[in-house]
Amino acid sequence: MDFNKNSNSKTMKAVVVTDQAAGIAGMKLADRPIPKAAINDVIVQVHASGFVPTELEWPSTWANRTGLNRAPSIPGHELAGVVTALGYGTTGLSVGQRVFGLADWYRDGTLAEYVAIEARNLAPLPGDVDFTVGASLPISGLTAWQGLFQHGRLRAGQSILVHGAAGAVGSMVTQLAREAGAYVIGTGRAADRQKVIGFGAHEFVDLENDVLEDAGGVDLVFDVIGGDVQKRSAGMVKAGGTLVSVVGPVEVRPADGLAVDFVVEADRAQLGEIVQRVRDGRLQVNIGITASLDDALAALNPNGRRKGKSIIRVRQ
């Protein structure tokens, strides 16, 4: 069905945010117009959407690329779903195709029944991979892949310190680094020890009770925590090594190594590598809560700790 034809008269259900100060508690369910496909876009009927808890702190949730206010905006930047329409000039994907991928930070996101998204941000989702699984992979999988292999240049035989290794990004980093032949030291809270070892870490450092520096020097630090943990980690990078941060600019650089901070980018080929590893059992997903769109507001405002990626099943 081509929803572009009558989109003025059609609305969809979506989670929207209008109040930056209110954070996740300010999310509301609302009716929004079904988006239209721009040049090289597709419209995807969202089956499952991933949510990163820090999204509502990102400037791109609130302002467009020219700095103008864009609220009310729809959060959610990961999706798995089915293509329902193609924009002008769009190639490489077809109507009816199962896809998954990473939505543009500055456009309305995926906590909605439909999303307009550039085709290049998406990859085919194999028929044997569930939509919930597909939606859990784009941000955490691509961040791990790019941080390890592009920015961190990890090679077999090297050692890596993975902070927050029980979390959405850290669990992917741990598994991919282990598969690549690295010696993996995962960190986290005391309760995360078994989970991190289960993802393949050789050692675990309990950041609440152990002395981080006792883990010794490493070739690569992959940081998702920042602050004091990151500053202390800089001193653990061996000569020629790298500190990779996904939580903003590095404040203390390794004495004789590189420091890189980056924001993940969409990459169809890398998404293909990641989903293939899930299919053949080399990569476990790390899904915390799943809930319907109607239950999204309560589910995304948990009382306790989040454990892994939060997924909203938009279409049951």
Ligand X SMILES: NC(=O)c1ccc[n+]([C@@H]2O[C@H](COP(=O)([O-])OP(=O)(O)OC[C@H]3O[C@@H](n4cnc5c(N)ncnc54)[C@H](OP(=O)(O)O)[C@@H]3O)[C@@H](O)[C@H]2O)c1
- State which of positions 37-76 bind ligand X (CB under 6 A): 52, 54
Q: Which of 207, 166, 196, 205 is nearest to 307 (CA)?
A: 166
Nearer CB in complex with ligand X: 34/162: 162
Sign for the CA dihedral angle at 71, 309, 202, 154 comes to negative
Cα–Cα distance list, 229 to 113, 166, 225 (Å): 39, 16, 7
Minimal CB distance residue for ligand X: 167
d(CA 274, CA 261): 22
Q: Does 263 bind ligand X (CB under 6 A)?
A: yes
Q: Out of 124, 167, 186, 254, point to the residue binding ligand X (CB under 6 A).
A: 167
Going residue by residue from 273 to 312, which x/- string records binding to ligand X, judged by CB under 6 A? --------------------------------xx------
Nearer to ligand X by Cβ, of 87 and 167: the residue is 167
Cis peptide before 72 (omega within 30 of 0): yes
Three-class SS of residue 134?
Answer: helix
Q: Which C-beta is closer to ligand X: that of 93 or that of 246?
A: 246
Greatest alpha-carbon pair distance for the chain in Å reads 63
Q: Residue 282 contacts by C-beta under 8 Å, 6 or more apart in sequence?
A: 175, 179
* Interacting positions 170-199 with ligand X (CB under 6 A): 170, 188-189
Query: Judged by CB under 6 A, which stretch of 36-44, 167-175, 212-220, 271-279 contacts ligand X?
Result: 167-175
Residues 6+ apart with CB under 8 A from 103: 76, 77, 78, 79, 109, 110, 115, 117, 121
Q: Which of 225, 243, 259, 271 binds ligand X (CB under 6 A)?
A: 225
Tell whether residue 24 is a contact of ligand X (CB under 6 A): no
Q: Which residues bind ligand X (CB under 6 A)?
A: 52, 54, 139-140, 143, 164, 166-170, 188-189, 207, 224-225, 229, 246-247, 263-264, 305-306
